[in-house]
Structure 1
Amino acid sequence: MIFNGQSIIIVDQKVLRLDAWIPYHPGGHKTIEHMVGKDATDEISVFHSEETRRQMDRYQIGRVEGRWHNFVPPIQGGSFRPYQETSEAQGVTMSREESANVSLGPGDTSDVGASELNYRRLPQQPQESQGEKQGGLAFLDTQTKDEVTLTLTRYPSLDLSTQNKIIEKYRHLHDQIQAEGLYHCNYSAYAWEFGRCFLLVSIMLLFLHAGWYCTSAVFLGLFWSQMVFAAHDAGHMGITHDFFIDNLIGMIIAAPIGGLSLGWWKRTHNVHHIVTNAPEHDPDNQHLPVLAVNHRFLGNIFSTYHGRLLPYDKAAQFFVQYQSYLYYPILMFGRFNLYVQSWVFLAQGQGPRKGSAWWHRWFEIAGNLVFWLWFGYGIVYQSIPTAWSRVAFVMVSHMVTMPLHVQFTLSHFAMSTADLGPHECFAQRMLRTTMDVDCPEWLDFFHGGLQFQAIHHLYPRIPRHNLRRTQKLVQQFCREVNIPYALYGFVGGNKKVVGSLAEVSRQAAILAKCQQTVAQRADLIHGH
């Protein structure tokens, strides 16, 4: 069935065929494609409400017995045999409907060792010449295998017994979190958030009226940063847990207040949560030509999200060699990139056009027009008298949001990007690819909950004001299952990220030397 292009996933031992649901899925089709052929119980449980999970039962076509043995999804390079309609046990031919009702047994339960974890190049990539392979890509493959080997020494074994124990404890932790009421939103905390944002806007308008345009711009940038935290909460349905209300809150913040698209953010962010830190699949890691966060980007990898090659071209080679120095300056311009991505998403209608979210696109287009009316025309053009002051106001207000972009990248850029295959459970993969930032409680408003990214990736719908309490439970879970819990101070985390970028620059220099040596040898051979 998967061979024939059908989207089959396993949830709570139920076999679901989701082809009919994909056009209606508010989170986009890529998230479902990355779950095809896998047990998606944990991913579905932490991302969706109980009501939504019950509605999925309408797509059930069968059941499995025992623990399902995950396949590599087709979007990630997995290959499948044609569908067989004969029962080997009975030696009779069954119809597709009959076979759908047969309980499927678990797959092979053999242990998985490091030797079985080989770097897979997706078939969409062009074939390299033998000289390029020897001179450059062989070096990159060696780096990848070394990364996998080192990762396996730091984390629990991938054998099914060990992974099953982690899964059981992770689900028990989920039950404990629900029992302690950590999914209940503290609305009084949002009253303080609203008061803080109102104060920032008031100060911004005060300085704008006084003609202190750059000072006014600083407070506008701070206001936008605080509002993004609330939009992030709403995008994960972490405020009211109601799909309509939380999406409405998020879109109002994103579009008319911020000039961005919550729909675009959800489309990319949901994939990020499913395939965190996977260079070929996670759009939040794919920043060529300006940044290469892993050595695999030096090999012209194929992005399954964008559906195209990410070329390591001349521009990328220039920026990557200096990326540890350019990291912060590049992030200063991050908000401008978000405008572009949002309008491309809305103009091309990349979001859902059916189901409960069909109207989101039009709401966000209208909201973005409102944003440019009050910000572009009302403030920048009408309230600021000179061209220089206008440029300064725009640049300062946008550059002040740079710490927010640092927050988004800090928790992942220096963490593991190794592909350990489909046997690794969801909880271990999230903790391996994500770090938390340690800070005093009084500074939580500055980080907006993003300092608890490891906790957030494990349980995305927990309201951010409960993440600090949840952290203690997760730390105990990590001790029980022997998974390292990455926790760094803000300064220490930044040093780790910059050091990681510098290491990729070093690897890029080695790659260039390898390719140069191969080219010189080829010239000598042809010369003779």
Structure 2
Amino acid sequence: MSSATTLPTRPRDRAVSDFTELTRTVQAAGLMKRRPAHYAVRLSAAVLAVLALVATIILVGDSWWQIAVAAAAGIILTQVAFLGHDAAHRQIFADGRANNWTSLVLADLFVGLSHGWWQRKHTRHHANPNKIDADPDIDLEFLAFTPDQAATKTNKPQAWFLKRQGYFFFPLLFLEGLALHVAAIKRLSQRDKLEHRAAEIVMMSIRLGGGLALVFLVMSWPIALVFLAVQMGIFGFYMGASFAPNHKGMPLIPKDSRLDFLRRQVLTSRNVGGGRWVDVLMGGLNHQVEHHLFPSMPRPSLRRAKPIVQAYCREHNIPYMQVSLPKSYAIIVKYLNTVGLSDRDPFNCPITAVYRA
């Protein structure tokens, strides 16, 4: 972020009129309208893909070719999870209950993750992206995303790892699928308030129990174990590699800062450039700036909203970040290694600094 960027004397007092004006422009372009035909095709394709996956597992039988099927399963289930993400943000239906139950079925019954657990976590992230002590996505057990987090890991093995944590980030993503399932199961096992908890337990039990039964009935145990490891590894890596480029390595917001909604979302989000194949590959998450500004905007409209948002940010002197996918991954590695070296302020951003309370 360039220090040459000019801001008002009291940016935290900026009126919400900036975002209101942008919202009106986007709405006038019809970009907030639901896309029922688009999602009808996607939802039908998701159901057919999962059914075809089950049929393929049965037909291939006790063969090491199942490892290729496991890799395909990891990819298919990630794409289904992207659809669940769209439904959770109310992008598919006008009715909130329809979106909620669609996301719940896709997450719990198809993928095997708790919709309620993920929804709570993801809502906190959207409210305060990259804000210290507020965004759960920068508060992970094994990685340090802030200098203060790095300072708490003082023994020699931890110090050795932190200096190289950027290089370990992507290999660790192969364990992300397992971590997500464990966290979801733990969350459902707690006796606190969680909407549709009973329904989630039933659906996740069918998905996880039925999935294990299918694999071990069709395959011998060595093939079955490798199948599960490959499927879970590909799923975790694909999910993590799709969500990570969006905020990791972007400016951190101090916990005592106050930013208006427009700047809070744009300054901490990064788009990934590329053609429509990137839209499909990343489930629309490559348009992260637009998604964070308009979470309920249907996925196919994000690409059309991008030039409008870019022009508006340029007009209002708000930095708008977009890089290629390889470049975004390089930024993540460099950022994590810099934090791991105990740099007290690795990415001191003058733009976010002026928003301190």
**TM-score class normalised by the smaller sequence:** 0.7 to 0.9
Summarize deviations over 1:417-467 as a string: whole Å, max 9, x none. 132844421111111111011110233211101111111111111111111
C-alpha spacing 1:403/1:163, structure 2 compared with 1 (3 Å): farther
User: In the alignment, which residue of structure 2 is the partner of 1:294?
Assistant: 146
Provide the secondary structure at the position in 1 that maps to 2:3: helix
User: In the alignment, which residue of structure 1 is the partner of 2:197?
Assistant: 361
C-alpha spacing 1:195/1:155, structure 2 compared with 1 (3 Å): farther
Q: CA deviation at 1:162?
A: 8.3
User: In the alignment, which residue of structure 2 is the partner of 1:373?
Assistant: 209
Matches of residues 501-516 of structure 1 in structure 2 within 5 Å? 501-507=336-342
Summarize deviations over 1:466-519 as a string: whole Å, max 9, x none. 111111111011011101101011111111111111212222799xxxxxxxxx
Contact 2:162 2:341 in 1 (8 A): no
Contact 2:36 2:93 in 1 (8 A): no
User: In the alignment, which residue of structure 2 is the partner of 1:480?
Assistant: 315
Which of 175, 191, 195 aligns to 2:40? It is 191
Matches of residues 37-436 of structure 1 in structure 2 within 5 Å? 153=3, 155-157=5-7, 159-160=9-10, 164=14, 167-194=16-43, 196-197=45-46, 198-199=48-49, 201-202=51-52, 205-206=55-56, 208-210=58-60, 211=63, 212-288=65-141, 290-300=142-152, 316-352=158-194, 358=195, 360-377=196-213, 379-385=214-220, 387-401=221-235, 402-419=237-254, 421-436=256-271
- 278-287 vs 197-206, which moves further: 197-206
d(CA) in 1 for partners of 2:123, 2:4: 27
Q: CA deviation at 1:170?
A: 1.4
Which has the higher relative contact order, 1 or 2, with Cα contacts under 8 A spaced 6 or more apart?
2
d(CA) in 1 for partners of 2:36, 2:272: 24
Q: CA deviation at 1:390?
A: 1.1
C-alpha spacing 1:369/1:156, structure 2 compared with 1 (3 Å): farther
d(CA) in 1 for partners of 2:13, 2:284: 29
d(CA) in 1 for partners of 2:234, 2:301: 27
Q: CA deviation at 1:207?
A: 5.4
d(CA) in 2 for partners of 1:152, 1:426: 21
Segments of structure 2 that go 5 or more residues without pairing to the other structure are: 346-357
Give me the TM-score of the superposition, normalised by structure 2: 0.88
Question: What percent of counterpart residues are identical?
Answer: 26
Summarize deviations over 1:146-191 as a string: whole Å, max 9, x none. xxxxx682655253368526x3121111122222221112222223
Task: Give the superposed CA RMSD.
Answer: 2.4
d(CA) in 2 for partners of 1:457, 1:188: 24
Contact 1:229 1:448 in 2 (8 A): yes
Aligned amino acid, residue 319 of structure 1: F
User: In the alignment, which residue of structure 2 is the partner of 1:39?
Assistant: none
Q: CA deviation at 1:214?
A: 0.2
Contact 2:132 2:254 in 1 (8 A): no
C-alpha spacing 1:487/1:509, structure 2 compared with 1 (3 Å): closer
Which has the larger helix fraction?
2
d(CA) in 1 for partners of 2:255, 2:73: 43
Give me the TM-score of the superposition, normalised by structure 1: 0.60
- 204-213 vs 390-399, which moves further: 204-213
Q: CA deviation at 1:192?
A: 3.5
C-alpha spacing 1:171/1:262, structure 2 compared with 1 (3 Å): same
d(CA) in 1 for partners of 2:12, 2:167: 42
C-alpha spacing 1:161/1:326, structure 2 compared with 1 (3 Å): closer
User: In the alignment, which residue of structure 2 is the partner of 1:303?
Assistant: none
Q: CA deviation at 1:257?
A: 1.0
Aligned amino acid, residue 465 of structure 1: P
C-alpha spacing 1:279/1:205, structure 2 compared with 1 (3 Å): farther
Q: CA deviation at 1:261?
A: 0.6
Aligned amino acid, residue 471 of structure 1: K
Segments of structure 1 that go 5 or more residues without pairing to the other structure are: 1-150, 301-310, 353-357, 511-528
- 334-343 vs 415-424, which moves further: 415-424
d(CA) in 1 for partners of 2:282, 2:19: 26
C-alpha spacing 1:332/1:351, structure 2 compared with 1 (3 Å): farther
